[in-house]
Amino acid sequence: QYLTLYAFSTENWNRPKSEVDALMHLLVKALHDEVPKLMKNQVRLNAIGAMEDLPQACQDEFRSAIAETSRNTGLTLTIALSYSGRNEWVRAAKKVFDDVACHKVTKDDICETYLNSKMDTAQMPDPDILIRTGGECRISNFLLWQLAYTELFFLPVMWPDFKGDHLREVISQFQSRE
């Protein structure tokens, strides 16, 4: 019911400007081109991360695509953009601080459920599976709070080469784990 793709990390802003600009242009084009497919397949689009850091054209395209797909009833596809787990924690801590400063909560109100409500993924379940492609055996600052009980799979295949057979193998292995 939920699929989250890590598309652009906060660390990616350190890439050359020309590369970042090209990626942002590609993102806007892909969103524009993919919305009809999302609609046809009843996919609801979502985004997490510091979206305010994206160029205005990306923000506008995402807002439009999210609004257009908001009534779809199938899979929720979340794109993590300008995202990092540590940055998410910082942004969540600022929300907590604001709530305390405005006397909405006291320190005794702060618990796991409350903290979870301040995370980007508050409206989503924690992931059952994390698939890391490319042969790297690290989570790369992705969903640090949410991965506490997630089953991790590290595959040597690069993302563009990831196919249905790879997914079926991961699901088969997942089903055999306890």
Per-residue pLDDT tens over the stretch 77-109: 999 999 999 999 999 999 999 999 999 999 999
State the pLDDT at residue 169: 97
Structure tokens at 45: 């689009």
Given a cut of 90, is residue 69 above it in pLDDT?
yes
Confidence category of residue 19, pLDDT binned at 50, 70, 90:
very high
* The residue to which tokens 């899979």 are assigned: 75
Query: Max CA-CA distance within the chain?
Result: 52
Amino acid identity of 70?
S
Q: What is the mean predicted confidence (pLDDT) over 117-122?
A: 97
State the pLDDT at residue 158: 96
pLDDT tens-digit series, residues 35-55 = 999 999 999 999 999 999 999
Q: Distance of CA 123 to CAs 78, 91, 165, 170, 177, Å?
A: 11, 16, 30, 25, 27
Strand order from edge to edge, sheet including 44-48: 2-9, 76-83, 44-48
State the pLDDT at residue 160: 92
Confidence category of residue 178, pLDDT binned at 50, 70, 90:
confident
For the beta carbon of residue 24, count every other beta carbon within 10 angstroms.
Answer: 17
Mark residue 78 as left, alpha or beta (left: phi above 0; alpha: psi -120 to 50; beta: remaining).
Answer: beta
